[in-house]
Amino acid sequence: MTTDRTGVPDPSNAPGAMSEALSSDVARARRAALWVGVWAPLIIVALGVLLQILWIPRLPDPIATHWSGSSEPDGFSDPWSNILFFAITGVGMTLIFAVLLLIPRGRRTGFPVWSSASRFLAAFGAATIVFISVLIVGLVQIQLDVADARTVGTVAGPMVIALLSAAAAGALGWFVQPKITVAAPASADSEPLPLSEHERAVWIGRSLPNAGYRWFAGIMVALMLILCVGSLVAQFPGWWYLALVGALVGVLIVTTIGFRVRIDAAGLEARSVLGWPVVRVRAADIDRVAASEINPLGEFGGWGFRWMPGRFGIVLRTGPGIVVTRRSGSIFGITVDDAETGAAVLAAAARSAGARTGTDAGSEGAR
């Protein structure tokens, strides 16, 4: 493996200057992400708490804190409990994003050191906290100088404002961060399986969830089933919407509970154990292949069938997997057993496909 192949020097063996420049880029990007995804949200939550404390003299007691459907409030609490609930939710959610952004990456990983996925995660964190903060503060704001919380009407106003603020915060959070991509070191790449001209190889493996994910999936599917059946029976306003969401989420979880993976000269094919969906990565599209430790939470923000900007994954447990970098720069990751062998076969397929089309990875620039 030469550094030319990926266009990005390997920080572990590149001479000082370049690797320092790279690591300072990463440090800058990480600082910006922490500001967007952690510090700014904490400041917003603190401001929200302060504002609500200042408003307490002008609020009814109890205040309305819960609305069902679209019109009248149906849940009430005293203003201080509401502030406490807001503070715990806001700080708790921010901590989750802080953990996601700071999860240490293993030494042997095929994922970029920094990419748009981390940038997205921070911006998404900012949007989430802004949504919660604006919504809760907005719900309190409409009750200012109201004598009886039961007369507070609809919540459509704060809801719309919260959604718009979240979208704006997400966009702002995305654009204030530097656009930096630092690819995985070349040392992470798998050695292609040595195959002679007349040899063909196929590797077949499975991507299966761990016990925790199976439990989670089972409980979620049961909940979605209850939601669907409940909505059909009760037929309250907007029932079809809930039933549809429940059915979609249920179907997505069931169809992505396990995958059969085949790697051959054509590339990688992951087929759900139920036959659908099928995900393919063509050998000719592949730039790099690595057998890598995959931490679903750190790399994809969670388990299952995951999408983030610039990357897509079938990640059902923490542990070994195959990470593919396409020529376009986008990443595909899948957790499988015996990932080393599978990655070697895929690396061989990618190399011979590259040789066939005459577009060797050496000409591709990274970044």
**Cis status, amide bond into 112, omega within 30 of 0:** no
Give the residue from 98, 68, 73, 124 showing the smallest Cα distance to 307: 124
Burial of 206 (0-12, 13-18, 19+ CB in 10 A): middle
Beta-carbon-side half-sphere exposure of residue 30 (alpha carbons within 13 Å): 16
Select 16 or 194, whichever has its Cβ closest to other proteins: 194
Give the residue from 63, 20, 5 showing the smallest Cα distance to 364: 5
Select 86 or 203, whichever has its Cβ closest to other proteins: 203
User: Smallest gap, in angstroms, from Cβ of residue 338 to other proteins?
Assistant: 6
User: Smallest gap, in angstroms, from Cβ of residue 200 to other proteins?
Assistant: 5
Binding characters for other proteins, 185-224, by CB under 8 A (x = yes)? --------x-xxxxxxxxxxx-------------------
Select 119 or 351, whichever has its Cβ closest to other proteins: 351
Instruction: Kindly calculate the radius of gyration of the chain based on its CA atoms and give it in whole angstroms.
Output: 25
User: Smallest gap, in angstroms, from Cβ of residue 187 to other proteins?
Assistant: 23
Binding to other proteins (CB under 8 A): which residues in 252-281? 260, 262-265
Binding to other proteins (CB under 8 A): which residues in 311-340? 338
Two structure tokens written together for 168: 């704006």
User: Smallest gap, in angstroms, from Cβ of residue 279 to other proteins?
Assistant: 16
Give the residue from 180, 127, 174, 184 showing the smallest Cα distance to 9: 184
| 8-state DSSP, 284 | G
Select 65 or 207, whichever has its Cβ closest to other proteins: 207
Q: Are 111 and 183 in contact (CB under 8 A)?
A: no
User: Smallest gap, in angstroms, from Cβ of residue 188 to other proteins?
Assistant: 21
Two structure tokens written together for 159: 């809801």
Q: Which amino acid is at 158?
A: P
User: Smallest gap, in angstroms, from Cβ of residue 283 to other proteins?
Assistant: 12
Select 331 or 339, whichever has its Cβ closest to other proteins: 339
Return d(Cα 356, Cα 285) in angstroms, integer.
12
User: Smallest gap, in angstroms, from Cβ of residue 268 to other proteins?
Assistant: 11
Select 25 or 264, whichever has its Cβ closest to other proteins: 264
Select 214 or 262, whichever has its Cβ closest to other proteins: 262
Q: Which amino acid is at 92?
A: G
Task: Give me the residues that bind other proteins (CB under 8 A), please.
Answer: 193, 195-205, 260, 262-265, 338, 341, 345
